[in-house]
Amino acid sequence: MSASSQQAAEQATIILHSGSYDRVSYALSLASICLAMGMVTHMLLTYGGLKRFVKGHLEDLEGTDSAFQVMFQRGKASGGIRSIEETLADTRKLGLKLYACPNALANMSIVPSDLVEEVDEVMGLATFVQLARNASINWYI
Protein backbone atom coordinates (compact mmCIF):
# COMPACT_ATOMS: atom_id res chain seq x y z
CA MET A 1 0.00 0.00 0.00
CA SER A 2 1.50 3.36 -0.99
CA ALA A 3 1.95 6.13 1.56
CA SER A 4 -0.79 8.25 -0.04
CA SER A 5 -3.33 5.42 -0.12
CA GLN A 6 -2.46 4.46 3.47
CA GLN A 7 -3.16 8.05 4.58
CA ALA A 8 -6.54 7.92 2.84
CA ALA A 9 -7.45 4.56 4.37
CA GLU A 10 -9.79 4.46 7.32
CA GLN A 11 -7.95 3.78 10.60
CA ALA A 12 -8.65 2.02 13.89
CA THR A 13 -6.65 2.25 17.11
CA ILE A 14 -6.73 -0.04 20.11
CA ILE A 15 -5.11 0.58 23.49
CA LEU A 16 -4.69 -2.84 25.08
CA HIS A 17 -4.35 -2.32 28.82
CA SER A 18 -5.77 -5.65 29.98
CA GLY A 19 -3.69 -8.79 29.92
CA SER A 20 -6.55 -11.22 30.54
CA TYR A 21 -6.63 -13.93 27.92
CA ASP A 22 -10.20 -13.26 26.81
CA ARG A 23 -9.67 -9.51 26.39
CA VAL A 24 -6.40 -9.90 24.51
CA SER A 25 -8.05 -12.47 22.24
CA TYR A 26 -11.01 -10.14 21.69
CA ALA A 27 -8.76 -7.15 20.90
CA LEU A 28 -6.90 -9.21 18.29
CA SER A 29 -10.21 -10.40 16.83
CA LEU A 30 -11.43 -6.80 16.52
CA ALA A 31 -8.13 -5.86 14.88
CA SER A 32 -8.52 -8.75 12.42
CA ILE A 33 -11.99 -7.59 11.44
CA CYS A 34 -10.81 -4.00 10.93
CA LEU A 35 -7.87 -5.17 8.84
CA ALA A 36 -10.08 -7.46 6.76
CA MET A 37 -12.30 -4.43 6.07
CA GLY A 38 -9.29 -2.54 4.72
CA MET A 39 -8.63 -0.38 7.76
CA VAL A 40 -5.11 0.52 8.88
CA THR A 41 -5.03 -0.79 12.46
CA HIS A 42 -2.68 0.19 15.30
CA MET A 43 -2.51 -1.38 18.77
CA LEU A 44 -0.67 0.09 21.76
CA LEU A 45 0.30 -2.41 24.47
CA THR A 46 0.41 -1.09 28.01
CA TYR A 47 0.72 -2.65 31.47
CA GLY A 48 -1.24 -5.95 31.58
CA GLY A 49 -1.52 -6.03 27.80
CA LEU A 50 2.20 -5.40 27.49
CA LYS A 51 3.04 -8.12 30.01
CA ARG A 52 1.07 -10.62 27.89
CA PHE A 53 3.42 -9.90 24.94
CA VAL A 54 6.61 -10.71 26.85
CA LYS A 55 8.25 -13.74 25.26
CA GLY A 56 6.83 -16.98 26.68
CA HIS A 57 3.64 -15.40 28.09
CA LEU A 58 1.23 -15.17 25.15
CA GLU A 59 -0.70 -18.26 26.26
CA ASP A 60 -0.64 -17.74 30.04
CA LEU A 61 -4.03 -18.07 31.73
CA GLU A 62 -2.84 -16.32 34.89
CA GLY A 63 -4.95 -13.24 35.63
CA THR A 64 -7.86 -14.58 33.59
CA ASP A 65 -11.27 -15.29 35.12
CA SER A 66 -11.54 -18.92 36.30
CA ALA A 67 -14.91 -19.44 34.55
CA PHE A 68 -13.28 -18.35 31.28
CA GLN A 69 -10.37 -20.70 31.91
CA VAL A 70 -12.76 -23.69 32.06
CA MET A 71 -14.58 -22.53 28.91
CA PHE A 72 -11.25 -21.90 27.21
CA GLN A 73 -9.94 -25.39 27.95
CA ARG A 74 -13.10 -26.92 26.46
CA GLY A 75 -12.96 -24.61 23.45
CA LYS A 76 -9.29 -25.41 22.78
CA ALA A 77 -9.97 -29.14 23.03
CA SER A 78 -12.85 -28.91 20.53
CA GLY A 79 -10.97 -26.57 18.18
CA GLY A 80 -13.51 -23.79 18.66
CA ILE A 81 -11.07 -21.37 20.28
CA ARG A 82 -7.81 -20.36 18.64
CA SER A 83 -4.72 -19.45 20.61
CA ILE A 84 -3.52 -15.88 20.95
CA GLU A 85 -0.35 -16.92 19.15
CA GLU A 86 -2.34 -18.11 16.10
CA THR A 87 -4.59 -15.05 16.09
CA LEU A 88 -1.60 -12.72 16.44
CA ALA A 89 0.16 -14.38 13.49
CA ASP A 90 -2.95 -13.91 11.34
CA THR A 91 -3.45 -10.25 12.31
CA ARG A 92 0.20 -9.51 11.60
CA LYS A 93 -0.15 -11.04 8.12
CA LEU A 94 -3.10 -8.71 7.57
CA GLY A 95 -0.97 -5.71 8.61
CA LEU A 96 -1.55 -5.01 12.32
CA LYS A 97 0.89 -2.44 13.66
CA LEU A 98 1.84 -3.25 17.27
CA TYR A 99 3.52 -0.81 19.67
CA ALA A 100 4.86 -0.99 23.22
CA CYS A 101 4.29 1.90 25.66
CA PRO A 102 7.68 3.18 26.89
CA ASN A 103 6.30 4.28 30.26
CA ALA A 104 4.84 0.82 30.92
CA LEU A 105 8.12 -0.79 29.79
CA ALA A 106 10.08 1.33 32.28
CA ASN A 107 7.63 0.91 35.16
CA MET A 108 7.51 -2.87 34.70
CA SER A 109 11.28 -3.25 34.11
CA ILE A 110 10.71 -4.79 30.68
CA VAL A 111 13.12 -4.07 27.84
CA PRO A 112 12.04 -4.19 24.19
CA SER A 113 14.13 -7.32 23.56
CA ASP A 114 11.93 -9.13 26.16
CA LEU A 115 8.91 -8.71 23.87
CA VAL A 116 7.70 -11.08 21.16
CA GLU A 117 9.07 -10.24 17.72
CA GLU A 118 5.65 -9.14 16.46
CA VAL A 119 5.92 -5.85 18.39
CA ASP A 120 6.97 -3.28 15.79
CA GLU A 121 8.36 -0.52 17.96
CA VAL A 122 8.15 1.49 21.15
CA MET A 123 5.72 4.41 20.83
CA GLY A 124 4.80 7.03 23.40
CA LEU A 125 1.25 7.94 24.24
CA ALA A 126 1.43 11.39 22.63
CA THR A 127 2.44 9.87 19.29
CA PHE A 128 -0.24 7.19 19.60
CA VAL A 129 -2.86 9.86 20.32
CA GLN A 130 -1.91 11.46 16.99
CA LEU A 131 -2.79 8.14 15.30
CA ALA A 132 -6.03 7.92 17.31
CA ARG A 133 -6.91 11.48 16.39
CA ASN A 134 -7.12 10.46 12.74
CA ALA A 135 -8.87 7.14 13.39
CA SER A 136 -12.57 6.54 12.90
CA ILE A 137 -12.58 3.84 15.58
CA ASN A 138 -10.76 3.99 18.93
CA TRP A 139 -11.02 1.22 21.53
CA TYR A 140 -9.61 0.90 25.04
CA ILE A 141 -9.54 -2.70 26.23
- Classify 41 in phi/psi space as left (phi over 0), alpha (psi -120 to 50) or beta: beta
Above 70 in pLDDT, residue 7?
no
pLDDT of residue 69: 76
pLDDT of residue 3: 47
Q: Residue 122: is it exposed, middle or buried by C-beta count within 10 angstroms (0-12/13-18/19+)?
A: middle
Q: Which residue has the higher pLDDT, 103 or 64?
A: 103
Is residue 118 one of the residues assigned to a domain?
A: yes
* Mean pLDDT, residues 95-115 taken together: 98
* Number of structural domains found in the chain: 1
Is residue 135 one of the residues assigned to a domain?
A: yes
Q: Which residue has the higher pLDDT, 92 or 9?
A: 92
**pTM of the full structure:** 0.87
Helix 66-78 vs helix 21-36: crossing angle, to nearest 10: 50
Above 60 in pLDDT, residue 2?
no
Domain assignment of residue 36, given as a range: 11-140
Above 90 in pLDDT, residue 1?
no
Count helices and strands (H / E) in the chain. Answer: 7, 5
Above 70 in pLDDT, residue 4?
no
Give the residue among 90, 85, 87, 114 at the shortest CA–CA distance from 100: 114
Is residue 81 one of the residues assigned to a domain?
A: yes
Is residue 99 one of the residues assigned to a domain?
A: yes
pLDDT of residue 126: 96
Is residue 96 one of the residues assigned to a domain?
A: yes
Give DSSP secondary structure letters for 27-44.
Answer: HHHHHHHHHHTT-EEEEE
Cβ(125)–Cβ(71) under 8 Å?
A: no
Is residue 102 one of the residues assigned to a domain?
A: yes
Q: Model confidence over 120-133: pLDDT tens digits?
A: 999 999 999 999 99
Is residue 5 one of the residues assigned to a domain?
A: no
* Mean pLDDT, residues 3-17 taken together: 78
Q: What is the CATH number of the domain that holds 62?
A: 3.40.1260.10
pLDDT of residue 139: 98
pLDDT of residue 6: 47
Is residue 6 one of the residues assigned to a domain?
A: no
